[in-house]
Amino acid sequence: MTTTNDTAPDAPTMRAISQDAYGSPDVLTEVRIPRPSPGPSEILVSVRAAGVNPTDWKHRANSLFLNRLPLVLGWDVSGVVEEVGFGVTLFKPGDEVFGMLPYPHGVGSHAEYVTGPARAFARKPAGIDHVQAGALPLAALTAHQALVDTAGVASGQRVLVHAAAGGVGHLAVQIAKARGAHVIGTASAPKHDFLRGIGVDEVIDYRSVDFTEATGDIDVVLDPLSGDTRARSLDVLRPGGTLVSILPGGSPQEAEKAARLGVRVETLLVEADHAGMGAIADLVEKDALRAHVEASFPLAEAAKAHESGETGRVTGKLVLVVGEG
């Protein structure tokens, strides 16, 4: 069902997926709302595709970082610049771009148009389509900021990626391999062939094998799971190693253990990043990074995308297809 919010009769509008309450996927409704205009240093993007990430369904279910309704979700964007605001020199109308809106407050890409800071975007690599590009920004930036900016992964290091077939995980594997690392990945057995296909050197079935017994002497652990996995990951790090978690966690006991073992623990919240998007674009252009898109959905079927994601069985990414081209 499509509803229309009040707006001036001649003002341009757009389709968007909005919610007026927190809850299950059925709170998501297609609406018509005013089309935004770019402010200083912003661009208006005609959205062609937008990834759907776990943070989307978590924000849909409860307020998390965004205590405001109605709410249009979505941080991933791939599309075409429609208009530029005052002071923008990086892009012109007609340029194809991709990027992540500033997380968490810059939300709103599950719509036909969105505005964001020009420097949250980079030029879309010509060799991939908008669906591929729309799958990358948030998950790839998370992986890049964790492995490169935070942990400084280098050639020859041993990197353990938990949930390696997931959205962040499968991109982290490729980023680590591009930097010359030896990569160990955890996933259920049916996903092991997929992991080997993207470069994982050793696979661990987390359902039947205790990763703390199957590996060790790890330089960097990327943990998208937190909880018990985060706590036990300290045991496989070599002295001087780094654990990067992308979910809240930790305790005084964890800090004491990390200090005793001589390892570092960091919790990362992804940030919009023009340089990071440029680095991701470079990896794509070198054929070193590709998003695996398990399924795409038209904008109107955003609820189905959320339902699919919440099963926890998705390999790679889900994407909403918004516009043509």
Phi, psi values for residue 299, rounded to 5°: -50, -40
In this structure, what CATH number is given to the domain that contains residue 167? Answer: 3.40.50.720
Q: What confidence tens digit (pLDDT) does each residue in 74-114 have?
A: 999 999 999 999 999 999 999 999 999 999 999 999 999 99
One domain, residues 163 and 128: no
Tell me how many domains the chain contains.
Answer: 2
Q: What confidence tens digit (pLDDT) does each residue in 156-168 have?
A: 999 999 999 999 9
Tens of pLDDT along the chain (325 residues)? 455 555 556 789 999 999 999 999 999 999 999 999 999 999 999 999 999 999 999 999 998 899 999 999 999 999 999 999 999 999 999 999 999 999 999 999 999 999 999 999 999 999 999 999 999 999 999 999 999 999 999 999 999 999 999 999 999 999 999 999 999 999 999 999 999 999 999 999 999 999 999 999 999 999 998 888 999 999 999 999 999 999 888 888 999 999 999 999 999 999 999 999 999 999 999 999 999 999 999 999 999 999 999 998 999 999 999 987 5
Closest to 28 (Cα-Cα) out of 303, 311, 322:
303
Provide, for the chain, the percentages of residues in helix, strand and coil under a 3-state DSSP scheme, each rounded to the nearest 5: 30, 30, 40
Judge whether 274 lies within some domain. no
One domain, residues 6 and 132: yes
Q: Tell me how far apart the alpha carbons of residues 57 and 69 are, in angstroms, rounded to a whole number.
A: 15
pLDDT at 227: 85
* Residue carrying the six token digits 């050197």: 201
One domain, residues 160 and 115: no
